[in-house]
Amino acid sequence: MDSADDPRADRLTVASYLEKPESTRPMELVYGVVREPPAPRYGHQALLTHLGALLDRLVRSRGLGEVCVSPVDVVLDEPAALVVQPDVIFVAADRLSIVRDRVFGPPDLVVEVLSPGTARRDRTTKLGWYRRYGVRECWLVDARKRSVEVIDLRAEVEGRRTFAGDEPLRSAVLPDWTIPVSEVFD
């Protein structure tokens, strides 16, 4: 079969994707195809900045690892050309070897701030990838409901729990987190 007949001919490899010029636009490589949604809304970014700062303060104060906010490329599957950009990631101190100029492997925690245009994809497709490739925990942050759903992706039977109001969020990955969910949205 000649390359013009090969449906994979237009697909990028992870290496060719990572050679593209740096950009602050959200961008992912999904099985070789670049996906470039529009930039998130201001409220989404403000919430993600605040939550990232709260997580970073906890992680730094206890020497637990590193927190990074999007856009940051997370290479989940190099041969399959799958690169995602979760809203916030945490990599534990004992796994920081996966952090180089990009993150090559599953973070311990990923956070997705749900938006009307991405909520379905975050709850299905991306959550499936996170589970498949070894992310330990995912937080789905819903600004409209002012709640955080914590999903334990490594449990035999997937554990899900939703936290709201003044209830402190409970995390298996960050057991020292004691901040009430309401503070995430303040």
Query: Rounded distance, CA 34 to CA 29, Å?
Result: 5
Judged against a pLDDT cut of 70, whether residue 28 lies above it is answered with: yes
Domains and CATH numbers, the chain: 40-184 (3.90.1570.10)
Q: What is the rounded average pLDDT of the residues 12-41?
A: 86
- pTM summary value: 0.88
Stretch among 35-39, 108-112, 123-127, 134-138 having the lowest mean pLDDT: 35-39
Structure tokens of 65? 């690892």
* SS3 per-residue string spanning 8-36: CCCCCCHHHHHCCCCCCCCCEEECCEEEC
Q: What is the pLDDT of residue 9?
A: 55
pLDDT tens digits along 123-162: 999 999 999 999 999 999 999 999 999 999 987 766 899 9
Mean pLDDT, the chain, as a whole number?
90
What is the predicted pLDDT for the residue at 3?
A: 38
3-state secondary structure of 9: coil
- Neighbouring-strand partners of residue 29: 34, 83
Residue predicted with more confidence, 103 or 35: 103
CA dihedral (32, 67, 107, 179) positive or negative: negative
pLDDT of 7 higher than 60: no
